[in-house]
Amino acid sequence: MSDPFHEGPAAAKARKMRSVMIAVALVAFVVIVFVVTIVKIAANIGHGAG
């Protein structure tokens, strides 16, 4: 019962690769949002808004 999806090794490898790529994309999105936020905060501090 090690294959609950009843798929072959090629399909399992493809599913795993998709999962890894989704995780990488999610991490990249979080990093981009963080960097943009820091840049905007720094710009506001630089213009004397604080």
**pLDDT, position 49:** 52
Per residue in 5-50, pLDDT (tens digit) is 788 889 889 999 999 999 999 999 999 999 999 999 999 888 775 4
Task: Give the tokens for residue 42.
Answer: 């720094």
Whether 19 contacts 27, CB under 8 Å? no
For the entire predicted model, the pTM comes to 0.72
Task: Give the tokens for residue 34.
Answer: 């963080």
Residue pointed to by tokens 């072959």: 8
Query: d(Cα 5, Cα 22) in Å, to the nearest integer?
Result: 20
Say how many C-beta atoms besides its own lie within 10 A of residue 1's C-beta.
Answer: 3
